[in-house]
Amino acid sequence: MNDTNQTVQLKRILCLVIALTALTVIIAACSGKSGADPASLRAPVVSGTDISDDLFSYQINIDGHTYTVPCSASDFLENGWDLRSDHDLAPGESENFGSMEKSNYSLHVGIYNAGTEKAKMSKCVVYDVTAHVTEIPKVILPGGLLFDQYTQRSDLISLYGQPDDIFDNNDSTSYQYGKDLDAAISFTLREPGTSETFNDSYVRITNSKTAVVETRPDYSDVAATDIADDLDSFQFAVDGQVFTVPFKVTELTEKGWELRGENGVLKPDYYAMGRVFGKGDAEIWSYIYNPTDREILYSEGVVARVELQFSHGFQYIILPGNFIFDKFTTVQEIIDQYGEPFEIKNGESSTTLSYKRGPYNIYQYIEFEIALDDGYLPPTHNRVTFVNFNTTAEPKGEGI
């Protein structure tokens, strides 16, 4: 082979190599893959926002606006966000699964009514914000952290130090800063999926303690009632009316309370659970009992169990001794008023005090559930339950 032919052949081989290389690059580009780590192509920390450097400022910058949690729901609405649902919340009630939308984005929020009157969610306080990287525009956190699909554990530690808790999940790891669940920032980082284009990491900022700062109303103008002094009377007063458990259903309905749901049939010595009486925004949860030897309608029965809780439209309830019971009532105030209970049970978010009466006391007792100050916004807060079937025989459970 002469020199000219060798030169031509080498040129052809070189052109073929170049073409194959170009084709490989094009294929890689079209497949969305690159030899470079996408996380290395962006800076994890950015500047130019008014956000604090302190993680526990509870701030988050979303779509160019900085919010400090807790804040008014209107702060979001004024920046173009809309509540998917804007229903009423009773005083002290929370909506833990609220959703806000803006264009094609969505944001998960917890909303709390810290007032003393019923209010729309849009008029209440946002105490919890959860932002998923797949559902929101640009998110920046304290110190200028750009929170996106490429955020890594090392980014968090370099800015905020070691987390207080780490939780390993099936497909993600959560890093929690702050030991109190009521005041914490939690990052959940997911591993990229098979498409290698994004992952569904999210950050959650909760600061409910500040949202729930309230003062007890002044009850000095509440008129005294003719209620008994002794808790054993099984009496309570709502809406200016005194009731003694058990009492006929008609005692409620004649005073404007409506039995909600069907007016079912009860067999003799049976009771129906969870029947609700409503009046305006207030609700009384009850068991209706049939103490007779014949079948009767609910409307003909007696209310043998009453549960009154403050997320159901009550500002206060008057109990024996003209004791004002509300969502601010403490365990010690109950004990000071009525003495030591038969039993005290301590739960994670509440303390239960049981005052049992009578020889067959499983169907005759008064019980208080008092929310703990450091509890995580229990939706019912404080509540009181009266149970008095006024029978020495065991009722036969629900029978309809």
DSSP string, 210-273: HHT---PPP-TTSPP----S-GGG-EEEETTEEEESSEEHHHHHTTT-EEES---EE-TT-EEE
pLDDT at 359: 60
pLDDT of 27 > 50? The answer is no
User: Contact 257/284 with Cβ under 8 angstroms?
Assistant: yes
* CB-facing half-sphere around the CA of 283: CA atoms within 13 A: 13
SS3 161: coil
- The CA-based dihedral angle spanning residues 112, 117, 121, 123, taken in that order and rounded to the nearest 10 degrees: -100
Within a 10 A sphere around the Cβ of 269, how many other Cβ atoms? Answer: 18
Please write the tens of the pLDDT for every residue from 337-357: 999 999 999 887 789 999 987
Poorest-pLDDT segment among 90-104, 109-123, 380-394: 380-394
pLDDT of 122 > 80? The answer is yes
Distance, in Å, from the CA atom of 10 to the CA atom of 262, rounded to the nearest integer, reads: 92
Strand partners, 277: 259, 284
Poorest-pLDDT segment among 31-45, 78-92, 103-117: 31-45
Average pLDDT of span 244-257: 96
Poorest-pLDDT segment among 16-20, 88-92, 102-106, 360-364: 16-20
Poorest-pLDDT segment among 36-40, 176-180, 318-322: 36-40
Please write the tens of the pLDDT for every residue from 256-266: 999 999 999 99
pLDDT of 44 > 70? The answer is yes
Q: 365 or 310: whose pLDDT is higher?
A: 365
The closest alpha carbon to 286, from 267, 258, 323, 320, belongs to 258
pLDDT of 276 > 50? The answer is yes
Cα–Cα separations (whole angstroms), residue 313 to 11, 211, 310, 331, 366? 87, 20, 6, 22, 21
Distance, in Å, from the CA atom of 363 to the CA atom of 342, rounded to the nearest integer, reads: 14
pLDDT of 5 > 60? The answer is no
pLDDT of 29 > 50? The answer is no
- Return the ∠ at Cα 371 (arms to 217 and 207), rounded to 5°: 85
Please write the tens of the pLDDT for every residue from 126-162: 999 999 998 888 999 999 999 998 899 999 999 999 9
- Which amino acid appears at position 198 of this protein? F
pLDDT at 212: 63
3-state SS of 20-87? HHHHHHHHHHHCCCCCCCHHHHCCCECCCCCCCCCHHHCEEEECCEEEECCEEHHHHHCCCCEECCCC
SS3 182: coil
Q: What phi, psi does 382 have (nearest 5°)?
A: -75, 150
From edge to edge, which strands make up the β-sheet containing 323-325?
Answer: 241-244, 235-238, 317-319, 323-325
User: Contact 299/263 with Cβ under 8 angstroms?
Assistant: yes
Distance, in Å, from the CA atom of 236 to the CA atom of 366, rounded to the nearest integer, reads: 11
State the pLDDT confidence band at 377, using cuts at 50, 70 and 90: very low
pLDDT at 213: 58
pLDDT of 69 > 80? The answer is yes
pLDDT at 130: 95
Whole-number mean pLDDT of the chain?
84
pLDDT at 157: 95
Is the alpha carbon torsion for 236, 242, 244, 249 positive or negative? negative
Distance, in Å, from the CA atom of 244 to the CA atom of 179, rounded to the nearest integer, reads: 45
pLDDT of 164 > 90? The answer is yes
pLDDT at 132: 93
pLDDT of 107 > 90? The answer is yes
State the pLDDT confidence band at 382, using cuts at 50, 70 and 90: confident
Within a 10 A sphere around the Cβ of 382, how many other Cβ atoms? Answer: 24
